[in-house]
Chains A and B, each alone.
Chain A
Amino acid sequence: DSGVTQTPKHLITATGQRVTLRCSPRSGDLSVYWYQQSLDQGLQFLIQYYNGEERAKGNILERFSAQQFPDLHSELNLSSLELGDSALYFCASSVAQGAGNEQFFGPGTRLTVL
């Protein structure tokens, strides 16, 4: 158990809908990362927050947004969902923000868009 929690574990929804994925980092970690894992794209970095502020951005679609709250938990919002958004979404956390800080991954949320 990495100490990172993600809810829900599974999510099934329809195209065009909006969902929110939640992540609680390890105790003491200030940085939160979101990744998407799919069969065709592999593990892709989406976005990073550090102590409430956006720090790095990857190939995150405009339909997706995230934020980190004062209690350091983070939410990833996915809207206007398409079939291709079906994937595993992982949250990771680390103590600090730069490279070299070990990222601890949560168990993931499996999103299925029908």
Chain B
Amino acid sequence: QQQVKQSPQSLIVQKGGISIINCAYENTAFDYFPWYQQFPGKGPALLIAIRPDVSEKKEGRFTISFNKSAKQFSLHIMDSQPGDSATYFCAAGHTGGGGGNKLTFGTGTQLKVEL
């Protein structure tokens, strides 16, 4: 059962535009929501993360918006640049009873920023 649903699957944005990627989760035990960026041939790299006690977090051109009641969160990339072209994954995690950390990933969004 997929616990984190991500959309869209692919996205084309013009340079300078806003890229928006959405995720929805089911498990209310999740308390950590990171976004990862992956370039071809590389491992995922943490971009920005949020906890459910805040509704928004901004780091540079990247913003996470979080809606706890709707169980949804989204990534906004402002002033999108060709260098932002990559695959983006949302994820959700919680600390288990044994102290473990199990991240559940969305299916990924392939972003292409065109000149």
Is A42 in contact with B105, judged by CB distance below 8 angstroms? yes
Cβ B101 vs Cβ A99 within 8 A:
yes
User: A55 vs B32: C-alpha distance in the bound complex, in angstroms?
Assistant: 17
Once the chains bind, are A97 and B46 in contact (CB under 8 Å)? Answer: no
Residue from A42, A48, A57, A102 in contact with B107 in the complex, judged by beta carbons closer than 8 Å: A42
B27 beta carbon closer than 8 Å to chain A? no
Mostly helix, strand, loop or mixed at chain B's interface?
Answer: loop
Residues of B within 8 A of A56 (CB): 96, 98, 100-102
B57 to chain A: which residues have CB within 8 Å?
A: none
Interface residues on chain B, size class: 20 to 34
Complex Cα distance A2/B37, Å? 13
Question: Which 4 pairs of residues, A with B, have the shortest CB-CB distance?
Answer: A56-B100, A105-B43, A55-B100, A98-B95
A side interface size, CB within 8 A: 29
Shortest C-beta distance, B32 to chain A (Å), equals: 4
Q: Are A97 and B49 in contact (CB under 8 A)?
A: no
Minimal Cβ-Cβ distance residue in B for A91: B43
12 contacts between A and B (CB under 8 A): A33-B103, A43-B89, A48-B101, A50-B99, A56-B96, A97-B101, A98-B100, A99-B32, A100-B51, A102-B46, A106-B43, A108-B42
A residues bordering B, Cβ < 8 Å?
A: 2, 4, 31, 33, 42-45, 48, 50, 55-58, 90, 92, 94, 97-108
B100, A48: Cβ atoms closer than 8 Å: yes
A108 to B32, CA, bound (A): 24
